[in-house]
């Protein structure tokens, strides 16, 4: 998938994150859009970890609004190909690819056509909770004291942790 001439992340949740940013008229998806996409994603270990830490979609939206202010209605939403990862989101997505690559090498999973492993929601959530990037997602995770609970939940559910 390519967006505005740049390679977009192979993470399947990128479409959700870019759609959320685009609906707000934003050209760059931030870490907050990654977190929202995870909270609104398909059932699985990542969403279960967020839920067990009390970070359901509505809570995440309210926390982001309290930190950054409510979203104003965009005058013109952007299509998916008009959205790229912001700087902090790009760091998180890069870390998720590293985590996925570690899994791929460990279990003999084939690479994507581009040669990199495809990160899943757990990889992205682990990258968010272990990152020192001071993005909005990190502020929400810290404000709700959710980092340790999420890491424990992911380890219990999947056996995976940030050193994978």
The answer to whether position 149 is within a domain reads yes
Please report the pLDDT score of residue 72 as a whole number: 56
Tell me, what's the pLDDT at 133? 80
pLDDT one-digit tens code per residue, 15-26: 999 999 999 899
User: Is 164 a member of any domain?
Assistant: no
List of long-range contacts for 103-107, beta carbons under 8 Å, 24+ apart: 103/160, 103/164, 106/164
Report yes or no on 140 lying in a domain.
yes
State residue 40's pLDDT score: 96
pLDDT in tens, 85-101: 999 999 999 999 999 98
Give the pLDDT confidence of 103-139 residue by residue, as tens digits.
877 654 454 545 568 999 999 999 999 998 889 999 9
The percent of residues in the chain predicted with pLDDT above 90, rounded, is 65
In a domain, 27, yes or no: yes
- Per the structure, the count of domains in the chain is 1
Q: How far apart are CA 31 and CA 137, in angstroms?
A: 5
The more confidently predicted of residues 8 and 101 is 101
Q: Which of 157, 153, 160, 156 is nearest to 52 (CA)?
A: 153
> Is residue 39, in this structure, part of any structural domain at all?
yes
Q: Quote the crossing angle between the two packed helices 31-39 and 57-68, to the nearest 10°.
A: 160
- Give the structural domain span for 120: 2-158
Q: Tell me the three state secondary structure of residue 74.
A: coil
Query: Confidence class of residue 31 from pLDDT cuts 50, 70 and 90?
Result: very high
Give Cα 98 distance to the centre of its chain.
14
The predicted pLDDT at position 164 comes to 44
CATH of the domain at 13: 1.10.1780.10
Rounded percentage of the chain residues whose pLDDT exceeds 70 = 83
Question: How large is the average pLDDT for residues 76-81?
Answer: 86
């Amino acid at each position: 998938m390519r967006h505005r001439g740049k390679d977009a992340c192979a993470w399947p949740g990128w479409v959700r994150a870019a759609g959320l940013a685009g609906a707000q008229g934003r050209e760059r998806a931030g870490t907050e859009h990654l977190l929202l996409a995870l909270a609104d994603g398909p059932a699985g270990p990542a969403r279960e970890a967020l839920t067990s830490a009390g970070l359901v979609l509505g809570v995440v939206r309210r926390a982001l609004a309290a930190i950054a202010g409510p979203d104003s209605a965009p005058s013109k939403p952007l299509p998916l190909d008009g959205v790229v990862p912001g700087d902090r989101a790009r760091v998180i997505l890069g870390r998720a690819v590293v985590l996925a690559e570690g899994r791929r090498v460990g279990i003999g999973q084939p690479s994507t056509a581009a040669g990199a492993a495809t990160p899943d929601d757990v990889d992205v959530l682990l990258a968010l909770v272990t990152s020192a990037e001071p993005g909005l997602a990190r502020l929400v995770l810290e404000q709700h004291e959710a980092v340790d609970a999420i890491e424990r939940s992911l380890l219990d559910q999947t056996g995976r942790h940030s050193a994978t």
